Amino acid sequence: MINIALGSDDGYAPHAAALIHSLAAAHGRGRVQLYYYCDDSLAAGTRATLTAYCERLGVGLRFVDVDPAPFRGLHANERLPLLCWYRTCLAELLPELDRVLYLDTDIIVSEPLDALYDMEMGDHFAAVVNDHLAAIAFPEVAKRVDIPYEKYFNSGVMLLNLKAIRAAGGGERVLKIARDNIERLYFPDQDALNLAFGPRSILLDPRWNFPPITYRYFAHYRGNPFIEALPACRRVAEPSFRPAILHFLAQPKPWVAFKAYEYVWEYHRHRARTPWAPPLKETLLWWMRTHTPWIQNAWNRLRGRGG
């Protein structure tokens, strides 16, 4: 059994459903247990829809209601709702577990995760992937928190050793670090997790947390020294590289911008199998644009004439 922690409000529930479908497709029935943390921003109707959907897929689901009071006063806005901080306290929210795999809800899984989930962790807090895009586009982030660029991790995929985290002070320790360093934090929750877990983290192969927009970043930031210097960048540039977890962490998100880029169809094909499936016409158009280059070129020409 693979225990997965995730969370969302109503707005991100459709994307969570796409992730859930990808997990079910990769593992089959009865292999995945979800711990879905939430607050009153996830409506009763949405919870009922997710419950019925998971039952149909053979995926275990338990909602974990969180009291937002301990998190108030931390940095939060439209792009970073208070709910994003809840994952810092998974050790307390899931006392029955010694290990959990945390996944952001803008993720699609493309193969079974057993090799990741079952890895030996020793007394490390987390197993994570270097945030190579942050180093390229936001080099000040790691510098502000005094973390080497090659060790600063993306917090969208974290295999968490909850037993070790509890022994070191749990979520309270993470929140204290966040409050003590609030002026230094650029990506607040992620930076706090880096400060708390970084020294006792295992860096994973980037196939376990791969942003599909990576190659466009490489083209846009051509000449950036981190593209050659960071091991994660060199790894994803290898011809043999194949991602296991696709993380749509950067703009344009696949559901808000009608732009085709690497692996974007993976999101749309799973979303089409959820209770929040878009109209069939839209899904077919995505398929054509991502699978047939000449149709995409013709579309671009037509848009140029129309403009």
How large is the angle between the packed helices 13-27 and 264-271, nearest 10 degrees? Answer: 90
Q: Rounded to the nearest 10 degrees, how much is the dihedral formed by the CA atoms of 26, 29, 34, 40?
A: 110
Average pLDDT over residues 47-65: 98
Length of the chain: 307
pLDDT per residue as tens digits for the range 25-38? 999 999 999 999 99
- Reported as a single tens digit per residue, the pLDDT across 106-163 is 999 999 999 999 999 999 999 999 998 888 888 888 888 888 888 999 999 999 999 9
**What local confidence, expressed as pLDDT, does residue 307 receive?**
47
| 5, two tokens | 């922690």
Helix pair 13-27, 44-57: axis angle to 10 deg = 10
DSSP, collapsed to helix, strand or coil, labels residue 163 as helix
Beta bridge partners of residue 108, listed in sequence order? 246
User: Can you read off the two tokens belonging to residue 220?
Assistant: 């846009």
Structure tokens at 95: 């006392």
pLDDT value at position 137?
85
Contacts (Cβ under 8 Å, ≥6 apart) of 96: none
Q: What whole-number percentage of the chain has pLDDT above 70? A: 87
List b or e across 57-96, with b for residues whose CB sees 16 or more CB atoms inside 10 angstroms.
Answer: bebbbeebebeeebbeebbbeeeebbbbbbbbbbbebbee
Q: What is the residue whose two structure tokens read 């270097």?
A: 130
pLDDT at 248 over 90: yes
Residue 65 C-beta-side C-alpha neighbours within 13 Å:
6
pLDDT tens by residue, 160-178: 999 999 999 998 999 999 9
CATH (residue range 2-244) = 3.90.550.10
268 SS3 class = helix
Distance CA 287, CA 260 (A): 10
Please write down the long-range contacts of 40-48, taking CB distance under 8 Å and 24 or more positions apart. Answer: 41/9, 41/10, 41/81, 41/83, 42/8, 42/9, 42/10, 42/13, 43/10, 46/10, 46/13
Q: What is the pTM of this model?
A: 0.89
Phi, psi of 255 (to 5 degrees): -100, -5
Q: Which two tokens stand for residue 58?
A: 């053979």
**Residue 306 reports pLDDT greater than 60:** no
Distance CA 108, CA 105 (A): 8
